[in-house]
Chain A
Amino acid sequence: MNEEKNEHRWGMAIDLDRCTGCQACVVACHAENNLPLSDPESAAKGRTFHWIRVDRYYEGEFPDIRVKYMPVLCQQCDEAPCEPVCPVYATYKNAEGLNVQVYNRCVGTRYCANNCPYSVRFFNWFDPVWPEPLGLQHNPDVSIRMSGVMEKCTFCIQRIKRAKEEARQEDRGLVDGDVQPACVQSCPAEAMVFGDLNDPESKVSQLAKSGRSTRLLEELGTKPKVFYLQRAK
């Protein structure tokens, strides 16, 4: 791990001018990351899991009204408000700038979720249940979280690892585009771009420099690594 320190700094750019609000990213994430299924009862209590969601905003009055969609996921903040409040270091920043969650360290204080300004952390109040044979779909690369554990978007860390392994087998370094989290991979409008912010040539670094680039609730000083490119015009 140490030799790779600071080699990568993963970030994402989301172009809201391309985003159609189709929610392909939301379902792709469920399929990739073994998210627990909700049911109407738990959903009514606000216990549905969506590591990425599409927020909607209304602007203006009918007939000059506009609706805007914005995919929101863990912003992988450099100054993450969730980290300092964890008493057991279950959530911390790894060498590649990912805000990671160590499930078997988590004791379920839920302080991190309370402190997250983006509401992207989800707590397992119960063990997840998949009526047979729905569980056959589970991705073996991602562990199933049990009750008492907090979870959130990982930037598909399993895909980062797989891409690194493949590159190592081919005796080469990672190239831009090798790593694609499930949401980015699925996006039909190609609104989402993932890559290494340490590489100034990477697509995500270029987009982050765009004049349309903003970050969500930047004024809080969280320094998110997700860049939103605002709609043009």
Chain B
Amino acid sequence: MDRRNFFKIVSAASASVATAGCGRKSDKLIPLLVPEREIVPGEEQWHPSVCSECGGGCGTIVRIMEGERTIERNGEKFRERIACIKKIEGNPLDPVSGGRLCARGHAALQSLYNPDRLHGPLRRTGDRGKGEFTAMSWEEGIGAVADKLVKIRSSDPRKILFLTNPQPGTRVLSIERFLKALGAPPALTCSIDSFAIERKAAELVFGWKGLPRYDLGQARYALGVGADFLGGWASPVYYARQFGYFRQGRPGIRGTLVQAESRMSITAASADEWLPVYPGFEPHLLIVIARLLMDEKLVRNEGQLSGPEAESILKADMRKLVRVSGIDEGRLRRVARELGESEAPLVIAGASIIHTNSLETLIAAHYVNFLLGNIGKPGGVLPPDPEPSDRSQTGNIVEALKRAQILLLDAENPVYSLPRSSGVSEALANIETIVSFGTFINDSAAHADIILPDHHSLESAAAVVPSVSPRPAITVGMPFVQPLYNTRAVEQTLADIARKMNVAFEPATPKNYVDPLLAGQRWDDVARQGGLWLDSKEQVAPAKWGGEQLSWSDPVLAGATERFPLRFQPYLSLQYHDGCGANLPWMQELPDPVSSSMWDIPLEIDPKTAAKLNIATGDWVRVESEDGTLEVFAYVHPAALPGVLSMAIGEGHTHYGRYASGRGSNPLSILAPVWENSTGALAFGATRVRVTRLERKPGELIQFSPRDREQGPWGYR
């Protein structure tokens, strides 16, 4: 679908849909559905929606055609004609996706039509964590939750804990209003893809609220530090589009990317040069770069050179910094010179793998960008547009769980995303009531007493604020297909609970979310196009460094070096992201870009360490930390840092449907409870481990293209 065709469609076919129910107040939460009679066999319709697979908030369009499903009524099976979603593509009007989409975005369809989706409300029958439930009615479920909430609210409303995803939008705003109405504390998030440290640094240094936007498309020479921006970072589609343009979009100009990362991510692989920085020593590397820029007189912002920050850099022991970063000084010198001499230099820093000193990385990177004079300029670091509502915060989740008497879980999976050593399971066991709104029984929902399943995001109304966008944007999706099962949108469920409790509560709807920002546009058009995109207002970028101190502490690591000699870094993969993609068969059978493995992702180990430990690709190994053990296949990776083991987050769910349950291991589970201080985020790169080869193997490592395929004879199949 291209832009021209989509315009044609939005102006004709869906006009009636968009206007049908948005104007009337009573219709707020009633979906605007495509009536069955409008579905003509063989004819397609396209409707705008929002991708909810990560915080990127890509606008999408979905293709609807007729389909047939089997339903059971009074013991008899019927075939029913319904409107089905056939494919998801990027919305060509959306400034984030620009009509493109990533692998997970496409696979969202398989969570909509997943055979393990919940069909209606459930009540726990077995022990907590067993995942045994029986069906109940919505009235029963809502009554039970309302009763509990009334009791807890009258004794101490602070004991109500709501966990939800962080992305600002109608969902988070509705939950915020609900909690305010009850007098409960604001919702928290335990998601490992909230990029809270990146936000914190932008706030400290620039006073910006939100993620800075790196204008890669206009840059000439980019140095990436610790941000896997083409794979598991803030907005993969947006940055991949920028990257394509950066490389080959400008006649006669080809951007050069140097990537400093402790793992060969897809970003590092796409770069012109990879600097294999030792994990947790990114701040040190950036300080070296800053110093080299000063030494070579390549600083464009001379005003910066008089501050205490510059002095602290001049006093630093360069030799030591170079040594700990693990990169050859000559290479660093060359990169610093090329960066400093470039017409449009840019440093893109992030914490794709969180260390205790990740905030220092971000601040140091902003400082280097200051020296390069690119803040607020094309090809530089641009301020984010203000977010129209709050996001839910990270914080000390385990403490919050310990205090809670009732836990309400929406789209968060603390049992999976927090290490065992944090005491999350024990904390859950002590909570009186756990309510899940999830569409699946996952690791955490298995502990729930009551499950009140949400619609799938493709079946519900939502407005979300994308994490990075070139223009002020709110992506809007209105429902257009009949919910497949007896589910209710969380906003609706909360409204029902509030009514039962006699509490005044009005959930946020996309229309009233967008209304105050319309600025002359019409809501009907917004719903029809799938978003509100405004013209950028001139954002003022600070010209002077705000006085934030630079520092470069060594990362705090858990585990004694003698007993646990290896570093361990779980990472966000492009297949599973924070683990939520593991129940999609398309993601399970997608060959891993590194190992080409399917249905599990192996542990990456470097050839030297592997040889020392007698480990070969396909061996079954045990990874031990002070706090736990896991077993996994090994993949000897020629581009892994010596002594650094990497493992994708995503597998190892106890409960998550037939495709994910009991498959592989969860690298987060064996981590030590080490947190990043400024945000309370889990420092998942801070654990030391040891690894041993096991004789017994549960099976074979499954690879789509084993390595010999590239070297040896073709056609092994």
Contact = CB atoms under 8 A, between A and B. Distances in A.
B1 A22 contact: no
A222 to B, nearest CB: 13
Nearest to A28: B106
Contacts of B531: none
Given A22-B266, A32-B87, A186-B100, A113 B590 contact: no
Contact of B86 (A27, A138, A177): A138
A4 B699 CA distance: 53
A137 to B, nearest CB: 5
Interface stretch (B198-206, B360-368, B390-398, B700-708): B700-708
Interface in A69-108: 69
A172 to B, nearest CB: 12
A122 to B, nearest CB: 8
Contact of B115 (A48, A61, A132): A132
Contacts of B705: 53, 55-56
A56 B596 contact: yes
A62 B638 contact: yes
B499 interface: no
A63 to B, nearest CB: 5
A133 B484 contact: yes
B88 A190 contact: no
Given A20-B243, A189-B240, A66 B106 contact: no
A68 B270 CA distance: 7
B297 interface: no
A166 B4 CA distance: 13
A151 to B, nearest CB: 13
Given A54-B591, A187-B100, A188-B102, A18 B248 contact: yes
A24 B103 contact: yes
Nearest to B63: A139
Interface residues of A, number: 68
Interface stretch (B148-156, B681-689, B709-717): B709-717
Interface in B234-278: 236-237, 240-241, 243-245, 247-249, 254, 264, 266-270, 272, 274, 276
A1 interface: no
B42 A140 contact: yes
B65 interface: yes
Nearest to B101: A186
Given A116-B715, A186-B101, A22 B274 contact: no
Interface in A119-177: 119, 131-140, 166, 177
B254 A17 contact: yes
B112 to A, nearest CB: 8
Interface of A: 15, 17-24, 26-28, 30-32, 37-40, 43-44, 46, 48, 50, 53-58, 61-63, 65-69, 113-114, 116-119, 131-140, 166, 177-178, 180, 182, 185-191, 232-233
26 contacts: A15-B244, A20-B243, A23-B574, A24-B106, A26-B591, A40-B599, A40-B699, A53-B704, A58-B638, A61-B638, A62-B276, A62-B642, A63-B328, A113-B715, A119-B714, A136-B113, A139-B86, A139-B87, A185-B89, A186-B100, A186-B101, A186-B106, A188-B97, A188-B237, A188-B241, A232-B248
Q: Which 6 A-B pairs have the closest CB atoms?
A: A189-B244, A188-B240, A67-B269, A131-B115, A188-B100, A27-B106
